[in-house]
Each structure stands twice: as C-alpha cells, then as structure tokens.
Amino acid sequence: MTLKSAIANISKEDYQYISADTLKMFNTHYTIPDLVHIVTHFNITLTCILTTQKLTADFCKEYILREDELYCQTEGDEYLTVDDVVQWQPHIKREAFDDFDED
C-alpha cells in the first residue's frame, strides 16, 4: 500500500497523538489506501470517517461495519449500520449491501 498524502510522513511514535483535527478530516479528502492506514493506525472515529470522506461499499463492509468492532474508537462507532452508510454516502446504494449480513 502506497500512501500519497502527508500521512506517509507521520512517524509511528506519533500515531497515538493523531486526531481528526491533525489530519484536517473535515477539509481533506483522502484516498482509500490512506483511509485504511488512518483506520488501522490512528485514533480517528469511524463516524468521523463515514461523515467526512467519500468511501466505497467494500471499505464500509471491511472497516465501518465489521461485526467484531475491531476499529471502533467510540461506543457510537459500534452502532453504525448500513442505513448510516447509505445516509452519509449517497453514492452508495443499499443494494451494495444485499450480500452483507449485518447481524
């Protein structure tokens, strides 16, 4: 995975200090590989990512809607649903989740 944004220059020692404000999540659109890195290494809520970034259905299935809640940062992240994804990502249609088991 190649990171093309400024997050590639963040040292691992600083990962724990990175916030949505640090990354300017509300004003910057990150690539899917960058978002994977953000979700797996930084303390950014899934809700923030869902509401500020343009995501794919596959990304949402793998990271936002995971049954094991591996990447949840807050209790609110634990309750994200397909309905939330469709609301905040209007380019993704509900049919994209027909094969996805939310239970």
User: What pLDDT does residue 3 have?
Assistant: 59
Residue 88 falls inside a structural domain: yes
Rounded CA gap, 27 and 16, in Å? Answer: 21
Range of the domain at 66: 14-97
Q: Which of 79-97 are b and which e, b meaning 16 or more Cβ less than 10 Å from the residue's Cβ? A: ebebebbbebbeebeeebb
Residue 36 falls inside a structural domain: yes
Domain total of the chain: 1
User: What pLDDT does residue 4 have?
Assistant: 60
**Local confidence pLDDT in tens for the 103 residues of the chain:** 555 677 888 999 999 999 999 999 999 999 999 999 999 999 999 999 999 999 999 999 999 999 999 999 999 999 999 999 999 999 999 999 998 876 5
User: What pLDDT does residue 9 have?
Assistant: 86
User: What pLDDT does residue 2 have?
Assistant: 57
